[in-house]
Amino acid sequence: MLLAGSFFHVFVVAKPPRRRASQHLRIRRTSAAEYGRGPGEVPVREDERARPLSPYGATKLAGTRIVELARAAGLPAVVLRVFNPVGPGAPGHTLPGRAAAELARAVRERDAVRLGGLDAVRDFVDADDVAAAVLAAAVGPLPAHGVVNVGSGTALPARELVRTLVDVSGARVRVEEGGGGSARSADVPWQQADISTATTAWDWRPRTPLAASLEGLWRAA
């Protein structure tokens, strides 16, 4: 049985055919916000110490700790630590969702796209690739480490994501950056996933180009 919430909040209970009927795999989908600032301008591995900088990240990490306790007690469980998802339905508090909504407004009003600072570097991963990772976790072997990164494995400046979104939309608008940007962007200037655990354990890897992800986001805006 597979139970899933919204794209951005997923908790899965699965009974894969490889396991006994009494063994239900628990899959928690959480956020890279658990890492906090991370190691700097290098991909972050799952064994990096989690140092969340926000109440959101701390709450997510608390849930991860519960799953780790369950694993220690012998229950099959895994945490998917998802980086920055892109796809239709991205909420407005995320950069992709905010950028798509602002671009739609700019097109309607024949105005410029106005966003905060876009200096942050992020790892953006397609929503369908995240779903594929959940399925891979449900039917694949249980990894030795209780946490598995899910991302593209690529560091991309936020400015480049917005530029690509404008390109795929076909809109002739200019992008104006305001000062500052979000507090999280300043606190976490660089974020990139090391996805080797998911690749090794499940032969999972992201397959959707960023432009295709942004096309879907734009069509739903």
Active-site residue list: 56
Dihedral angle computed from the Cα positions of residues 68, 69, 75 and 76, in that order, rounded to the nearest 10 degrees: 0
Residues 142, 145, 193, CA angle at the centre, nearest 5°?
110
Q: How many CB atoms lie within 10 A of CB 151?
A: 28
Q: Whole-angstrom Cα distance, residue 57 to residue 206?
A: 24
Q: Of the candidates 60, 58, 55, which has an alpha carbon nearest to the alpha carbon of residue 28? A: 60
